[in-house]
Amino acid sequence: MKRLSLAVVMLAVACAGEGPVYEDKYAYDDGWRVGKVTHVVSSEASIDERSSKDCRLGARAEGHGARTFARVSLQWGRYYRSIVAMVPRDEPVSVGEEVYVDFQDCGQEIAPRHKRRTR
């Protein structure tokens, strides 16, 4: 019985340190979260809602001023946060779409949660 209890405790400790990994490449521990697009704008356009983090200023400084950006709302514990992050050039997003966003790294583009099917 002691061996079984010890094995269960060791397994729980081994699994406790790692968060989920979305689609085998977006690790929760690296800052990736699932969120919903609330606005899609250019780098110069204003957004009438406050955001927790806005990556547009840094992106413009790095020469990405002509890119499209999306404001993504995500749940953070009991609260909601939002981030304005870059949209990939080849993957347009629309309001209401679920995406992956790296809340810790403004240099990362958002990633569509479900790839669109092509015929």
Task: Confirm whether 39 is domain-assigned.
Answer: yes
Task: Confirm whether 2 is domain-assigned.
Answer: no
pLDDT, tens digit (0-9, with 9 covering 90-100), for 31-76: 899 999 999 998 889 898 899 999 998 888 888 878 999 999 999 8
Task: Confirm whether 118 is domain-assigned.
Answer: no
Task: Confirm whether 36 is domain-assigned.
Answer: yes
Task: Confirm whether 101 is domain-assigned.
Answer: yes
Structure-token match 């949660």, residue found: 113
Task: Confirm whether 119 is domain-assigned.
Answer: no
How far is Cα of residue 87 from the mean position of the Cα atoms in its chain?
A: 11
* Residue ranges making up the domain that contains 100: 18-112
Residue 3 neighbours by CB under 8 Å, 6+ apart:
none
| pLDDT of res. 110 | 95
| pTM assigned to the model | 0.76
The count of domains in the chain is 1
| pLDDT of res. 54 | 93
Q: What is the mean pLDDT of residues 83-102?
A: 93
pLDDT, tens digit (0-9, with 9 covering 90-100), for 17-30: 567 888 888 888 98
| pLDDT of res. 13 | 45
Task: Confirm whether 52 is domain-assigned.
Answer: yes
Task: Confirm whether 8 is domain-assigned.
Answer: no
| pLDDT of res. 43 | 85
How far is Cα of residue 33 from the mean position of the Cα atoms in its chain?
A: 4
